[in-house]
């Protein structure tokens, strides 16, 4: 059976790669936003030759700070994480939407730097690598005693390096200090260099130098529907800074008709041909709610005759954008739909909560299966459950898994989970003893309710969820029978507007419920993630 399953997986993978191999046709006239869909917030970018690398925030998820690679700024492939070890990333007891906030990724003299803040685990730090795919160094913790959020690094052409970050809370400003990266310490206490234009949360600062001027680009208004980008400049890196009279340089606030909202938190990159582009975050709300999280958008930018940055020629960003000025199109082969868990390591798409889950999972105990070993930690707890999941990256998608699991106590459960946070998630799970059954659970605002239930015979069970913009439909199959729908739930309850927080929906596998006695293993034979839209 394993040989047949392996052969089928190989055929599916080959078909996927053949169908979506890199095209050799002429470059497309447009590209589609978002360029990184699903929860990919706070993008930061750097270029090395013709290669672009991008990092995004990760909050309570482990490993931390995914790193992506592109040749054309539109097609991205994950190559690693910056934070892969508990010595780099302490998330024990970290609340949802805390942990690792916005990173900044830079490369200087052949060394990559990623600087960020662990909001509940030690403050600001940076790590380094010669290869952005990793491994990255141990953290260098900075001697910054104040509230330090959204740190950035700027390498000046005189050899000095500057550390820039938000400080002072909601109505604070941007603070900066010179830093000695060899010694790993600030050479002075950060001091206020700009308070922004009056919007709340003047955050996400990045410093650039262009035509002899130092430009400071920040976000204001909070990372939701009032989000905006503003800019100031100075003849000195430490100021004083003069605000752009045309601020904000980008905002979609006050235009609810636009499909892309909450635009802000951008970074700049210049192509070898001299064109400037900005990755930034935005959301795609469905009836004023977004559940996929803040996503990475892309827009062209230019410097005008007055020396100020203009974004998309002053027009709002759109889903379909002109590809004029982009590098030649270079798509990657499509990721296979199915992970059959035959690799020695988990794929880069998989995440866990608050740590590596040592002892909670195995790919080797039953080769060809992902084995989850549930503990007394549940999906309700601010701790490390047996949980392995990936970002939901498409409004229309299908996710499915095949599970072998026989509970030996009423508390034991394992299955498919769609998680926003501890208080808001959906589960399609196998539970019950001595009579095994399937349950569809809804947890909203910390209240769990049973939506549907069905008896299950012994043997493997397939669990599936299919999504639309406004709803999820759950199905199951056992005993070789066709899939049967068991229920439908709205996406709105898992949106940030309803559930709070800064992340998006993760879809994956979990096991929980060991109390007085150990649980039997939950063995997952495969996991499918299939986009059903472009």
| CA atoms within a 13 Å half-sphere pointing along the CA-CB vector of 106 | 21
Q: DSSP secondary-structure letter at 312?
A: G
> What are the structure tokens assigned to 506, written together?
């993760």
In angstroms, rounded to a whole number, what is the distance separating the alpha carbons of residues 262 and 335?
Answer: 29
Point out the catalytic residue in the list 72, 203, 267, 295: 203
CB distance 426 to 473 below 8 Å: no
Counting beta carbons within 10 angstroms of the beta carbon of residue 531, is it exposed (0 to 12), middle (13 to 18) or buried (19 or more)? middle
Counting beta carbons within 10 angstroms of the beta carbon of residue 224, is it exposed (0 to 12), middle (13 to 18) or buried (19 or more)? middle
**CB proximity list for 126: less than 8 A, separation 6 or greater:** 113, 114, 115, 116, 139, 140, 142, 151, 153, 181
> For the chain, what is the largest distance between any 2 Cα atoms, rounded to a whole number of angstroms?
76
* Residue 340 annotated to the active site: no
In angstroms, rounded to a whole number, what is the distance separating the alpha carbons of residues 148 and 140?
Answer: 15
**CB proximity list for 274: less than 8 A, separation 6 or greater:** none
* Residue 439 annotated to the active site: no
Point out the catalytic residue in the list 42, 335, 339, 427: 42
Q: What are the phi and psi torsion angles at 19 (to 5°)? A: -70, -30
Distances from the Cα of 454 to the Cα of 407, 430, 433, 474, 521, angstroms: 15, 10, 14, 13, 22
CA triple 488-492-497, angle to 5 deg? 165
Catalytic residues, by residue number, are 42, 203
């Amino acid at each position: 059976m394993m040989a047949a399953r392996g052969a089928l997986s190989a055929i599916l993978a080959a078909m996927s790669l053949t169908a979506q191999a890199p095209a050799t046709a002429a470059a497309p006239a447009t590209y589609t936003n978002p360029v990184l869909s699903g929860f990919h917030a706070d993008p930061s970018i750097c270029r090395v030759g013709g290669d672009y690398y991008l990092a995004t925030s990760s909050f309570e998820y482990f490993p931390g700070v995914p790193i992506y690679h592109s040749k054309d700024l539109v097609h991205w492939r994950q190559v690693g994480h910056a934070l892969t070890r508990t010595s780099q990333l302490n998330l024990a007891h970290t609340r949802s939407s805390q942990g690792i906030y916005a990173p900044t990724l830079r490369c200087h003299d052949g060394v990559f730097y990623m600087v960020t803040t662990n909001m509940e685990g030690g403050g600001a730090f940076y790590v380094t690598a010669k290869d952005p795919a990793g491994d990255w160094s141990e953290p260098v913790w900075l001697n910054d005693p104040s509230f330090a959020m959204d740190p950035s690094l700027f390498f000046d052409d005189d050899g000095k390096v500057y550390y820039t970050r938000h400080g002072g809370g909601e109505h604070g400003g941007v603070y900066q200090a010179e830093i000695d990266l060899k010694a790993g310490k600030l050479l002075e206490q950060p001091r206020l260099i700009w308070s922004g234009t009056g919007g709340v949360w003047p955050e996400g600062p990045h410093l650039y130098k262009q035509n002899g001027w130092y430009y400071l680009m920040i976000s204001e208004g909070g990372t939701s529907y009032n989000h905006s980008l503003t800019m100031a400049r100075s003849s000195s890196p430490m100021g004083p800074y003069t605000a752009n009279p045309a601020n904000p340089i980008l905002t979609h606030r006050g235009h609810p008709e636009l499909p892309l909202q909450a635009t802000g938190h951008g970074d700049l990159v210049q192509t070898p041909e001299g064109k400037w582009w900005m990755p930034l975050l935005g959301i795609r709300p469905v009836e004023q709610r977004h559940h996929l999280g803040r996503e990475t958008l892309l827009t062209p930018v230019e410097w005008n005759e007055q020396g100020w940055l203009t974004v998309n020629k002053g027009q709002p960003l759109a889903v379909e954008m002109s590809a004029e000025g982009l590098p030649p199109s270079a798509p990657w082969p499509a990721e296979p739909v199915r992970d059959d868990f035959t690799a020695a390591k988990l794929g880069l798409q998989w995440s866990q909560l608050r740590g590596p889950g040592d002892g909670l999972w195995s790919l080797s105990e039953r080769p060809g299966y992902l084995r989850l070993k549930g503990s007394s930690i549940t999906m309700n707890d601010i701790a490390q459950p047996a949980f392995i999941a990936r970002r939901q990256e498409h409004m229309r998608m299908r996710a499915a898994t095949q599970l072998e699991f026989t509970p030996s106590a009423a508390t034991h459960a394992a299955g498919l989970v769609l998680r926003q946070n501890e208080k808001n998630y959906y589960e399609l799970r196998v539970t019950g003893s001595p009579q095994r059954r399937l349950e569809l659970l809804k947890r909203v605002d910390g209240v769990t309710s049973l939506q549907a239930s069905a008896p299950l015979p012994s043997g493997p069970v397939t669990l599936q969820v299919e999504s639309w913009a406004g709803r999820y439909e759950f199905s199951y199959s056992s005993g070789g029978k066709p899939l049967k729908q068991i229920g439908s739930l709205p996406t709105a309850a898992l949106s940030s507007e309803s559930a709070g927080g800064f992340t998006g929906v993760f879809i994956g596998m979990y096991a929980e419920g060991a109390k007085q006695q150990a649980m039997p293993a939950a063995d997952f034979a495969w996991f499918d993630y299939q986009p059903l839209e472009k």
